[in-house]
A = this chain, B = another copy of it.
Amino acid sequence: MDTVAIFGVGLIGGSFALAIRKAGFTGRIIGVSSDHTIRAALALQVIDEALPAQHAAAQADLLYLSQPIHKIIDSLAEFDSRVKPGALITDAGSTKQAIVDRASQVISRAQFLGGHPMAGRERRGVEAAEADLFQGRPYVLTPRSASELETPAAREFLSWIPKIGSLPVIMSPQEHDRTVAFTSHLPQLASTALAAMLDGLPEPQTSVYGPALVDSTRLALSSFDIWGDILDTNRHQILAALASYIAKLEEFREHLDQDAMRRHFDAAGRLAAQVRDRN
């Protein structure tokens, strides 16, 4: 793997470039992004050079697609006729089924392997990129069959995941999407629903609060520009997660007594501690 092309040099794409560089990658890193982002990425030395998409695609051994989900889906077809034989196309989209399905339809000359590094920051954009973003975080890979992990290009890409400090996790696209519906998409919607509901209340019901409300509405600052695509491509699993959450809240409403609520607090504390243990 001599040349890596990052399509969409934002927080994730930029961090991947910085992370492999820090881990010892000595080849070329090409960036494909908007003019504004490219200027910043070059100035910050996140990428070595900038090229138009078709030229980057033709030169890269690894194509790393870290754009919005629908942008990835819409641009996949353009790559197949341009890439080098033996190149690997991977992505960092937050949902996997729709992307992997599309890739299986339109990619035949190169190999596609879906991925999702479970990392993030409040700040977005290449300015927020950092080499350690993936450190200690799961990096999900979603092959359609295990053999996809055995090609030379896939093996080389996989070898970089522990080098950047990430923990590879292999799941089917469907299993991934069901999992993140509960662990990522539902927490987002829980915060959005809380903040959106409070937004409709009259003063003073929203003027007197402690630090907990600031915490609980942090995710509610997230941009719909990112979440629109996620909701659109994981609708079914998100509806199931919402239903489970509503059922738990209904349980609280029906049995808001000391014994039942102590059990719920105990279970919640156990999960919250477990999430921190592994973190």
- A interface residue numbers (CB < 8 A to B): 118-121, 137-138, 140, 169, 171, 175-176, 178-180, 182-184, 186-201, 204-224, 227-228, 231-232, 235, 238-239, 242-250, 252-253, 256, 258, 261-262, 264-276, 278-279
- Knowing A227-B261, A249-B189, A268-B192 touch, does A204 contact B221 (C-beta < 8 A)? no
B121, B196, B209, B267: the one within 8 Å of A248 (CB): B196
Residues of B within 8 A of A188 (CB): 212
**Cross-chain contact B271 with A195 (CB below 8 angstroms):** yes
Number of identical monomers bound together in the oligomeric complex: 2
Q: Which residue of B lies closest to A138 (CB)?
A: B208
**Cross-chain contact B249 with A245 (CB below 8 angstroms):** yes
- In the assembly, what is the distance between CA of A219 and CA of B264, in Å? 13
**Cross-chain contact B267 with A211 (CB below 8 angstroms):** no
B212, B243, B274: the one within 8 Å of A187 (CB): B212
- In the assembly, what is the distance between CA of A162 and CA of B263, in Å? 40
**Cross-chain contact B137 with A210 (CB below 8 angstroms):** yes
- In the assembly, what is the distance between CA of A214 and CA of B121, in Å? 12
Offer 23 A-B interface pairs, CB within 8 angstroms, sorted by A.
Answer: A118-B210, A119-B211, A137-B210, A169-B204, A179-B205, A182-B205, A187-B215, A188-B212, A193-B264, A195-B268, A195-B269, A196-B267, A199-B267, A199-B268, A214-B275, A217-B272, A220-B265, A220-B269, A221-B269, A223-B269, A228-B261, A232-B258, A238-B256
